[in-house]
Structure 1
């Protein structure tokens, strides 16, 4: 396993639509997944998409640390793998979420996200997974799915006045 270099905003790998994974259990795919897990843990993040580590494939990881869990509908979970994911909103309700990104270090911004999403795809063993996510989990899944489609969170922001450096947002909060 290896910790991979994270692509930063401006790199072209972050701006294109990632390709479907053809063989989930292939050694190359499994190595990428293991390296992504190692990279996510090393970075201390809650989500990571393959394009962020210079691999244009439809794979993302996510987790919900206990400190970020939003209750019974959004329980904590260890790192999960979702391959060739499909997400769709459940309802029209959106909520503003403060997001950061390993590819945009040092910044955070307020992004409108669907409160709940239905997801489907495959885990790292090639088993079909599906369900409904809400709260923090839904937020992270939408953020990572955007990476697979070449979208970075500032592209989703309604108000760039709510983009700022981590230290300043921590000190002063996001203006509403």
Structure 2
């Protein structure tokens, strides 16, 4: 089922999500619904709070699967600045500095623990989506001067 995506400044986007304690059929369905919603909206990632669900669930297009309770276990010291967009900010693209590589741990839709390493765009997407789970938006990652420059757009 395709879910409506919340747009900034909806307050749900600023809320911290709760860890998924039990992998129920409802949670599995929610994960698949978020995945379908991301694909239909041509996104590269989507997080549960963007569809009004305060659960620690994300989906990422480069690995089209559901990640439950994802966490970044390691970040490279090396950073890269790249353009990011967000389905909750239609039409807004900003240059954001992120770690070049990350290591992630999560549960998959079957409740199995998975670990992976991502670099480049997938690393950027994981960082962006995991930020959403903590109520952090990509606009929060802008420097003071970038915020001034884009003030009218926000």
Does TM-score exceed 0.5, indicating one fold?
A: yes
Q: Which residue of 1 aligns with 2:33?
A: 35
- For residues 136-155 of structure 1, the aligned pairs below 5 Å read 136-155=121-140
State the number of aligned residues.
150
Q: How does 1:26-175 map to 2 (within 5 A)?
A: 26-64=24-62, 77=63, 79-158=64-143, 159-160=146-147, 161=149
Distance 1:118 1:132, change over 3 A: same
Q: Which runs of 4+ in 1 moved over 2 A?
A: 88-91, 160-165
For residues 86-105 of structure 1, the C-alpha deviation after alignment (integer angstroms, 9 at most, x for no partner) is 10443311111100000001
Tell me how far apart the structure 2 counterparts of residues 163 and 113 of structure 1 sit (CA, whole Å): 21
Residue matched to 2:15: 16
Label 1:102 to 1:163 Cα distance change in 2 as closer, same or farther (>3 A). Answer: farther
**1:98 and 1:81 mapped to 2: Cα distance?**
24
2: CA distance, partners of 1:63 / 1:14: 20
1:9-31: CA deviation from partner (whole Å, max 9, x where unpaired): 1111110110000112x121012
> Hey, what's the Cα distance between the residues in 1 that align with 2:82 and 2:150?
11
The normalised TM-score by structure 2 is 0.91
Equivalent position SS for 2:53: coil
- What is the alpha-carbon root mean square deviation over aligned residues? 1.6
- SS of residue in 1 equivalent to 2:65: strand
Check the 8 A contact 1:108/1:163 in 2, yes or no: no
CA distance in 2, matches of 1:31, 1:153: 27
